[in-house]
Structure 1
Amino acid sequence: EPITTLESAQRLRRLNAQLPVLGVEIDPVRVEVAQPHTGARTHFRLGGFNLPLQPTASGQSESARAIRAFNVLRQYEESAVPTAYRQMCHSLMPGGLLLEGTSDPHGRIWVANLARQRDDVDNGYCLEALVFSLNFRAGFDPAAFQAVLPKSLIHRMMPDEPIYYFFQAWKQAALESAATQIWGARHWFTASAHKLREMGYAVNTQKKWLSRGYLIIHSTSPTVVLDRSVGQSRESQSADVGPCCCR
């Protein structure tokens, strides 16, 4: 059954009961199996990164406000990621969002890139943030997120890569805030996020996100990073969640 699409539709319609939801699958057998679940606002179509959008009654093509793509790109080469992003974002309306990432088999922990289609769609998309999520049932350990990094980052966990140093910093932040785990994993997770902020990382420390298990960062480099070759500080020049703006 198309559980992911149906669960997403159920939750999103708490905010907008009339929201149309489209499930896209490259396997024709799975598309056929999903068809009995089709409804007035829920549809399933065969397609890939070029979404199978159709003309509307007015003759204009459908467009997407948001695209969720999980555990899809992990089977591709890293070099295929930029093209896949461009194809998916091409289907987004101006300001639309793409959430692409990887989760564990039960969705208890995941990491995803958040990309936004620019208002001028011809100028492509901007990679806006990197989102880490957990449900706290298995506790909290920054290292656990390394196994579910998006395809664009999972092979970059090595020295001299920003994502590597980010995890080193997060582990240090968790160590320094370990005393808070007496109140539970949620408090420890939140405290580590505030420590990262103190270290100079662009972490969203709003309670509404952290209390729900979301760590949102806008760069995997701190505002000031240490030049490890000479021991001097230098200003970070890049938003290392990925290519900031792409066409």
Structure 2
Amino acid sequence: MRQRPIGTATRGTTHPNRLRRMDRWIADAQGPALRRADAPVAVDLGYGAAPWTAVELLDRLRTAEPRTAVAGIEIDPERVADAQPYAREGLTFVHGGFEVPLDTPPLLIRAANVLRQYDEDRVAEVWARLRARLAPDGLLVEGTCDEIGRRHVWVALGPEGPRTVTFATRLGSLERPSDLAERLPKALIHRNVPGEPVHAFLRDFDRAWATASPYASLGARQRWIAAVRAVSADWPVADGVRRWRQGEITVPWDALRPNGH
């Protein structure tokens, strides 16, 4: 007998292209693993009231590996039924939750705007459950974004645990890097207080952004690159200019790990 889905339904808000920044990063970071796999499978966990994010994830991952298949998993059976007209070769919709009811361990689980509604003390448990469902070289990407996809922050985790935190933004909409604090994932959002590493990082990034203000005349992208380069003098930055140009910065999880964890 199949177990009851684990978790609770999300609010379900979704818009086309909301997760494009996250998807671009995933296609770049996980593309090699998808290409190596005999049967590359990815999961859009908790896709919401409409299937757009699962449809778009398939299209974007197939730019990295055309054989990729995506399963959209939703705990609300009505949402699964409503999504069925969008199913096609390589795209399925499945009733389920954090147990990820697939026969093939996925190389990717994307859980965007799913844990926002949970208490902070549930995060480690959910992370562990999802990581246990990954293929050996799989990746869990869990994070939050605003309603139209201008600001994202996500944590990337392997089967062994959390690896990195990525901040991504539409640069033209940014006043200062700490604007991204409102989109910190559940594991970090309540830690944006003095004495915590994520607070110190955003404070230093704001200072670097202010110092880089002369670059604003060359455009927001050049200012962002200069600010990232400056903050990387004091903080480990896990990516390079190619990703910075996209309005991203990735930092090892251990640098931002909450105190006591």
TM-score, structure 2 normalization: 0.77
As a proportion of its length, which structure holds more strand? 1
Alignment correspondent of 2:243: 209
| Offset of residue 204 of structure 1 | 3.1
CA distance in 2, matches of 1:116, 1:205: 17
- Alignment deviations for residues 47-78 of structure 1 (CA, whole Å, 9 cap, x no partner): 11110113xxxxxxx11001111100000000
Query: Which amino acid in 1 is paired with 2:109?
Result: I
CA distance in 2, matches of 1:187, 1:48: 42
Alignment correspondent of 1:133: 168
Q: What secondary structure, in the 3-state scheme, does the structure 2 residue paired with 1:95 have? A: coil
Q: What secondary structure, in the 3-state scheme, does the structure 2 residue paired with 1:14 have? A: helix
For 1:1-247, list aligned pairs within 5 A.
1-54=50-103, 62-117=104-159, 125-198=160-233, 200-219=234-253, 239-242=254-257
Distance change in 2, residues 1:85/1:205 (3 Å): closer
CA distance in 2, matches of 1:171, 1:162: 14
| Offset of residue 159 of structure 1 | 1.1
Gap runs ≥5 in structure 1: 55-61, 118-124, 220-238
Query: Which amino acid in 2 is paired with 1:9?
Result: L
CA distance in 1, matches of 2:67, 2:239: 32
Contact preservation (8 Å) 1:113, 1:241 = no
- Alignment deviations for residues 110-144 of structure 1 (CA, whole Å, 9 cap, x no partner): 00011111xxxxxxx22111001112231452121
| Offset of residue 241 of structure 1 | 3.3
- Alignment deviations for residues 126-182 of structure 1 (CA, whole Å, 9 cap, x no partner): 211100111223145212101000000001111111111111111111111111111
| Offset of residue 205 of structure 1 | 4.8
Alignment correspondent of 2:15: none
CA distance in 1, matches of 2:196, 2:96: 34
CA distance in 1, matches of 2:256, 2:133: 22
Query: Which amino acid in 2 is paired with 1:92?
Result: L
CA distance in 1, matches of 2:142, 2:174: 24
Contact preservation (8 Å) 2:197, 2:257 = no
Q: How many residues align?
A: 210
Report which structure shows greater RCO (CA 8 Å, sep ≥6).
Answer: 2
CA distance in 2, matches of 1:114, 1:18: 23
CA distance in 1, matches of 2:157, 2:245: 23
Q: What secondary structure, in the 3-state scheme, does the structure 2 residue paired with 1:102 have? A: strand
Contact preservation (8 Å) 1:140, 1:189 = no
Contact preservation (8 Å) 2:131, 2:161 = no
CA distance in 2, matches of 1:84, 1:8: 22
Contact preservation (8 Å) 2:74, 2:80 = yes
CA distance in 1, matches of 2:175, 2:62: 30
